Amino acid sequence: MAKTALAIDAMGGDYGPRVVVPATLKYLQETPAVSVFLVGNQSEISPLISTCFASRVTIVHADEVIAMDEKVSVALRTKKNSSLRLALELVANAEAQACVSAGNTGALMALGR
């Protein structure tokens, strides 16, 4: 069976990596045919990853985060290295089959377009 790769915006949502990473690891535990790209600040993500999932998790470092209340126009113009944008680029480049984010929905829709 071919593996599915998901791009996860680890910085998205109100609580960022401290919620997104454990939830992702639980999902990986229950879904063996999936690997993930966790996109965000590597120094915040790395300590949260269990070594038993290391072969199925790739961290993609992103220097910027789009805040939940940030204007979409600002995110589009100025956040070229945001976790959300880089996660979507993984899908656009066919490295991942889907992107998941609990972050700014307006920015997700605009960047995804």
pLDDT for 1: 43
Query: What is the spatial distance between Cα 88 and Cα 75, in angstroms, rounded to a whole number?
Result: 14
Structure tokens that stand for 63 in this block = 């220097």
pLDDT for 53: 84
Q: What is the mean pLDDT of residues 23-35?
A: 94
pLDDT of 47-71, one tens digit each? 999 888 889 999 999 999 999 999 9
Q: What is the mean pLDDT of residues 22-38?
A: 95
Query: What is the spatial distance between Cα 55 and Cα 96, in angstroms, rounded to a whole number?
Result: 16
pTM: 0.93
Question: Is residue 113 predicted with pLDDT exceeding 60?
Answer: yes
Question: Is residue 2 predicted with pLDDT exceeding 60?
Answer: no
Averaged pLDDT of the chain: 94
Residue 105 identity: T
